[in-house]
A = this chain, B = another copy of it.
Amino acid sequence: MSGERIWLFDTTLRDGGQTRGVDFSHADKIAIATALDDIGIDYVEGGWPGANPTDDAFFASPPKLKNAKMVAFGMTRRGGRSTANDPGLNAVIDADVPAACLVGKTWDFHVKTALNITFEENLDMISQSIAAAKARGREAMFDCEHFFDGYKSNPAFALDCVKAAHAGGASWVVLCDTNGGTLPDDVFEIVSAVKQACPDVALGIHCHNDAGVAVANSLAAIRAGARQVQGTINGLGERCGNADLISLIPSLVLKTEFETGIPKDKLPKLMALSRMLDERLNRAPNAHAPYVGAAAFAHKGGLHASAAQKDPRTYEHVAPETVGNERHYLVSDQAGRSNMLARFAEFGIEVDPKDPRLDRLIAVVKEKEFEGWAFDSAEASFELLARRMLGEPSDYFSIGRFRVMDERRFNAKGDLVVESEATATIVVGADTHHEAAVGNGPVNAVDTAMRKALVSAYPTLADVELVDYKVRILDANDDLAGTGAITRVLIEFRVPDGTTWRTVGLSTNIIDASVAALGDGMIWKLVHDNVPAP
Contact = CB atoms under 8 A, between A and B. Distances in A.
Interface of A: 17-21, 23, 25-28, 51-54, 75, 109-110, 113-114, 146, 178-185, 209-213, 215-217, 219-220, 223, 235, 238-241, 244, 247-248, 250-251, 255-256, 282, 284, 287-291, 293-301, 303-304, 307, 310-311, 313-318, 330, 332-334, 366-367, 369-370, 372, 374, 376-377, 399-410, 416, 418, 420, 439-444, 447-448, 465-477, 479-483, 485, 487, 492, 507-512, 515
A306 to B, nearest CB: 9
Contacts of A465: 479-481
Contacts of A485: 440, 444
B471 A470 contact: yes
B20 A298 contact: yes
Contacts of A369: 23, 52
A237 to B, nearest CB: 8
A401 B410 contact: yes
A235 B376 CA distance: 19
Given A20-B295, A239-B288, A404-B406, A467 B472 contact: no
B480 A301 contact: no
A271 to B, nearest CB: 14
Nearest to A315: B179
Given A53-B370, A470-B471, A471-B471, A290 B210 contact: yes
Quickly give the copy total for this chain: 2
B480 A181 contact: no
Given A211-B251, A251-B183, A315-B179, A376 B21 contact: yes
Contacts of A26: 475
Given A244-B212, A333-B53, A316 B179 contact: yes
A515 B474 CA distance: 20
A373 to B, nearest CB: 9
Contacts of A332: 23
Contacts of A284: 476
B25 A209 contact: no
A310 B209 contact: no
A246 B329 CA distance: 28
B466 A481 contact: yes
A401 B407 contact: yes
B211 A317 contact: yes
Nearest to A55: B333
15 contacts: A20-B298, A25-B372, A51-B334, A113-B310, A179-B317, A180-B317, A184-B219, A211-B215, A211-B291, A400-B408, A401-B409, A402-B407, A408-B512, A440-B509, A448-B481
Nearest to A408: B402
A305 B442 CA distance: 41
Contacts of A25: 372, 474-476
A251 B183 CA distance: 8
Contacts of A470: 282, 471-473
Contacts of A406: 402-404, 442, 509, 511-512
Contacts of A28: 476
A483 B282 CA distance: 19
A481 B447 contact: yes
Contact of A295 (B240, B294, B316, B466): B240
A91 to B, nearest CB: 15
A486 to B, nearest CB: 10
B27 A477 contact: yes
Contacts of A293: 239-240
Given A20-B377, A406-B509, 9 more contacts: A52-B369, A113-B307, A239-B293, A282-B470, A401-B410, A403-B407, A406-B511, A448-B481, A468-B473
A334 B296 CA distance: 35
Contact of A220 (B184, B307, B474): B184
A410 to B, nearest CB: 7
Given A212-B247, A304-B238, A508-B440, A113 B469 contact: no
Given A330-B20, A440-B485, A315 B508 contact: no
A507 B418 CA distance: 10
A244 to B, nearest CB: 6
Nearest to A177: B317
A223 B288 contact: no
A473 B469 contact: yes
B18 A209 contact: no
Contacts of A447: 480-481
A255 B474 contact: no
Contacts of A51: 334
Given A366-B52, A440-B483, A334 B17 contact: yes
A23 B474 CA distance: 10
